[in-house]
A and B are shown apart, each in its own frame.
Chain A
Amino acid sequence: MLAQQILNGLVVGGVYSLFALGFSLVFGIHKILNLAHGAVLMTGAFIGLYSVLLGLPLPVAMILAILGGGLVSVFIEFTAFRPLRNTGESEFGAIISSIGANLIIISIAQKISNTEILRFPFETFPIVIFQIAGIRVSLLQMFMAVMALALMAALMYYLMRTRHGRQVRAVAGNERAAVLLGVNPNIIYFQTFFISGALAGASGVLIGLAFGSIHFMMGEPFLLAAFAICILGGMGSIVGAMVAGLLFGMIQTLSVAYLPTGLTDAIIYSTIFVILIVRPNGLFGKAAAGVLRSQR
């Protein structure tokens, strides 16, 4: 029973990681809190759902959701963040303008979906259950785990092993120094927001498949979770977001399984609270406070 719950928690946590990673990436590289990130997840779920309803196969729907999420995220960067950056008023202004972008996207989704709670048609994802050493593992869980791992591995490879990834890390470290070395920061912003949105789009479809409920407000609890995960992992830390996401999913699943459901959020956030007392910068955070304080 415990092993079963831990497995379930890890799978859910993997999706949390995937989603929180995009949020953390944007903050870690550009010091922007993108509060419209939840709306991107919802957009991904919507694109995936409507593609399936239109008769497209699930893999195609998944790819469309990833691309759509990336494009919406880039659109948010173009409309909500770039104009502020050019006026040099980016730090607080960006928080407000991303809340605005969030509201607009949610309102559009509400219109499209007629304020209904939707779900993927039955057996969009084939229901296959394996029994491995007494633990039930569904094909969907395997798919979610593989998808989360593959996307995170691809991201790590991109950041750590490619020329473009090196430029991204340079901008994260010191945007001005990177510009003096000939790095065009606008291209880096484009890439970061696209990747961040693509991860959110993929998470949206996975969450829609796993939890069976897709609606215009579905991104909000995940945005809050992503924020908590990033603080727990250390703001801007990629490894931190991954580990904290898994931890978050585990605590959530275990407390739902063994404790009264009303306590779930209380358990999650008090656990985070206790961890932060011991490690104020999060599990993998270095001078996270310094990042926030530094004037750009």
Chain B
Amino acid sequence: MLELKNIAASYSGIKALHDVSLTVQKGEMVALIGANGAGKSTLLNCISGIVKPVSGSIDLEGVNIASVRPWKISQSGLLQVPEGRQILPELTVLENLQLGQTALSGRAPTYTIDQVHDMFPVLHERKSQRAGSLSGGEQQMLAIGRALMGAPRLLLLDEPSLGLAPLLVQKVFDTLQALNKTGLTILLVEQNARQALNVTNRAYVLEQGRIVHEGESRVLSEDPDVLAHYLGLGAQSE
């Protein structure tokens, strides 16, 4: 469904990605893990069109989108839930969800507001509150719900667990897994490697702008190198 070939990109003048290739098949849930500053967000922003790659190609269902404007990419159903959630704090919760429909741009919706409300009841209870008044976890639900309103064909998530309490992290990952079970294709960027490997089918490990490991998540989570570099820290902090 999504195929990146030999992507190189710079961010603020620094070369952030070298020769990255990555694929996501329809219906898959894929993780991209790596340390802070490995280039994960730059890669997502390349896919979303916010950062233009210096070289390489990005194909979405056979169409090269590497030079397409970011809002056009979103309107085609490739939706990103950005790092730090980026909800619009001055708008109400409901308005944030309605704003998510902008990305439909004539395509048929796949989730109604009622379905999103059923999935995240708190968004219904607080629908006329300022979105900025929600807690971090609720804001993450809102950011995911908002993306669903835009009928995603592929959902990109940048660090959805960032800054959330462990219980909420679990809830977010459960939700993503449930969405994936209903057929939604997901590319998940995470620093929380253990959790990410637990819920995904396949994974890529990004290190200093290069893919250093790739494979089935279950296999990677037992790889000695991955264990030492990415899961070791996780084990200590738990």
Residues of A within 8 A of B (CB): 163, 166-167, 169-170, 172-174, 176-185
Contact = CB atoms under 8 A, between A and B. Distances in A.
B162 interface: no
Contact of B50 (A166, A167, A172, A179): A179
Contact of A181 (B69, B90, B146): B146
A181 B90 CA distance: 16
Contacts of B150: 181-182
Interface in B16-56: 48, 50
Given A177-B82, A181-B102, A182-B105, A169 B74 contact: no
B88 A174 contact: yes
B88 A179 contact: no
Nearest to A187: B71
A167 B99 contact: yes
A177 B88 contact: yes
A243 B39 CA distance: 48
B63 to A, nearest CB: 17
A167 B71 CA distance: 12
Interface string B134-153: 00000000000010001000
Given A169-B90, A173-B88, A173-B89, A179 B99 contact: no
Contacts of B169: none
A177 B86 contact: yes
B197 interface: no
Contacts of B205: none
11 contacts: A173-B90, A177-B86, A178-B88, A178-B99, A179-B50, A180-B50, A180-B86, A181-B100, A181-B102, A183-B99, A184-B71
Contacts of B79: 180-182
Contacts of A178: 88, 99
Contact of B102 (A169, A174, A182): A182
Contacts of A183: 71, 99, 102
Contacts of A179: 50, 70-71, 74
Nearest to B98: A166
Greatest chain B CB density within 10 A among A166, A170, A178, A181 is at A181
Given A170-B88, A177-B86, 14 more contacts: A166-B98, A166-B99, A169-B91, A172-B90, A176-B82, A176-B86, A177-B88, A180-B48, A180-B82, A181-B74, A181-B99, A181-B102, A181-B146, A182-B150
Contacts of A176: 50, 82, 86
B80 interface: yes
Contacts of A180: 48, 50, 70, 74, 79-80, 82, 86
B121 to A, nearest CB: 23
A182 B87 CA distance: 14
B75 A182 contact: yes
Nearest to B81: A180
B231 interface: no
Contacts of A163: 98
Interface of B: 48, 50, 69-71, 74-75, 79-80, 82, 86-91, 95, 98-100, 102-105, 146, 150
A185 B71 contact: yes
Contacts of B88: 169-170, 173-174, 177-178
Nearest to B86: A177
A183 B146 CA distance: 13
A163 B146 CA distance: 15
B146 A166 contact: no
Identify the 8 closest CB pairs spanning chains A and B, nearest first: A182-B103, A177-B86, A182-B74, A173-B88, A182-B75, A182-B102, A184-B71, A179-B70
Greatest chain B CB density within 10 A among A172, A173, A174 is at A173
Nearest to A184: B71
A170 B99 contact: yes
Contact of B95 (A166, A172, A182): A166
Nearest to A185: B71
A168 to B, nearest CB: 11
B46 to A, nearest CB: 13
A163 B70 CA distance: 20
A172 B88 CA distance: 9
B168 to A, nearest CB: 21
A180 B71 CA distance: 6
Greatest chain A CB density within 10 A among B69, B70, B88, B100 is at B88
A167 B102 contact: yes
Contacts of B102: 167, 181-183
B202 to A, nearest CB: 24
Nearest to A160: B95
Nearest to B89: A173
Contacts of A173: 88-91
Nearest to A180: B80
Contacts of A184: 69, 71
Greatest chain A CB density within 10 A among B71, B82, B98, B104 is at B71
